[in-house]
Structure 1
């Protein structure tokens, strides 16, 4: 019996984003593959108050079987690392997809500029749909199939409920404020990762910094991919996952 593979989506999204690769992942893994909604997103009605990474991760951990493999994309990567540290009996391995233990740019750490996240927060209040669309556009930046990627992403997401306001606001706070580098450095389970070289949210330069923190960390970079490699470069992505499983 293999470990269940659990797929965690990113900010503003839902489990629908994994539909393009879920069948192939099931074939590769030959065991149960499950995509779940983060608290407050999609079909997850559970939304902690106040919404913190700890409270939301605790809710998520309750849904996991022991020794799960967590594949976290973007914000989902922070959840995966956090759960691995706090509920290690639930996690056998973490696979990060376009995710970093620290998303915000800091001295000596490449990341998202503070004003970008602040702008998103401001716009979220007035124009939720437009803000999420802008975020989708950033995710596809640099990818040769950017326009098609965004269209595809939107179609997949529309099969599920819109995210709750509290989850969106808190999600941006988590991306802006959480620094899981100490946790990443001491992670009790193996951490693997897949990156896109053209990613605007997890800059290529951040990868070497991550490798310096955790000597057991292994990763692959897809050259022409951006922030959603499993959509823009599906075959390369699946090849990378195969070696990590």
Structure 2
């Protein structure tokens, strides 16, 4: 029996982004498929205590069956890593989608400049919708059909309630502050990744560095994709996902 397939989205988005992929996967995948909203996104409740990676992951863990395969896009990858470390019975395999254990550039590590995230945090306090719109543009930047990608993401985003402002703020803080490279390096479960060579948020050098941190990690880079390969190159994305399931 195949394990439950659990999809986690990225910052500012919600579970509707996986809709088209899931419709196609259901034709061939015999196991259960579940798309979850990260706490505070798409109408999902937020932790009663302080919102942080630990309290938010606890809410997610309660919705996930044992031995699940986690497919995690962008920010969702940090949650997947925390799940694998603190709820190991829940996770049998992780598939990272344009994600990184450390999103901010550091010594010998490519990433987003801290200043860009600081600017986003300032903008978020002033105008939430404009900030999300700008983030959509960065996610599609470099894609050969960026306008269509943004349009598709925007439409899917509207399929669910708007994100909680606390969740948006903490989400950016997590992208900026979390460095889970050591945790990633210690995990012994199968891990895979699919990335876009034109990604402005997770640079193309990152997958090779992840592979150095953990030899169990294997990956594929789509030469013409950006930060949302499951939108821009759905066929290639699904082909890769099916090959490792």
TM range (shorter): over 0.9
Instruction: Please tell me the root mean square deviation across aligned C-alpha atoms, in Å.
Output: 0.9
Specify the SS of the correspondent of 2:27: helix
Report the alpha carbon displacement of residue 110 of structure 1 after superposing the two structures with TM: 0.3
Matches within 5 A, 1:108-187: 108-187=108-187
Runs of 5+ consecutive residues of structure 1 not aligned to the other structure? none
Q: Which runs of 4+ in 1 moved over 6 A?
A: none
TM-score normalised by length of structure 2: 0.98
Report the alpha carbon displacement of residue 48 of structure 1 after superposing the two structures with TM: 4.3
What is the rounded CA distance, in whole Å, between the counterparts of 1:68 and 1:26 in structure 2? 16
What is the rounded CA distance, in whole Å, between the counterparts of 1:25 and 1:70 in structure 2? 15
The answer for the alignment partner of 1:42 in structure 2 is 42
TM-score normalised by length of structure 1: 0.98
The answer for the alignment partner of 1:99 in structure 2 is 99
CA deviation vs aligned residue, 1:119-155 (integer Å, no higher than 9, x gap): 0000000110000000000000110111011111111
8 Å Cα contact 2:92-2:189 kept in structure 1: yes
8 Å Cα contact 2:46-2:167 kept in structure 1: no
CA deviation vs aligned residue, 1:191-211 (integer Å, no higher than 9, x gap): 110000110000001121111
CA deviation vs aligned residue, 1:37-89 (integer Å, no higher than 9, x gap): 00000021233431111110111001100001000000001111110111000
Report the alpha carbon displacement of residue 30 of structure 1 after superposing the two structures with TM: 1.7
Runs of 5+ consecutive residues of structure 2 not aligned to the other structure? none
Residues 201-210 or 4-13, more deviating: 201-210
Report the alpha carbon displacement of residue 116 of structure 1 after superposing the two structures with TM: 0.4
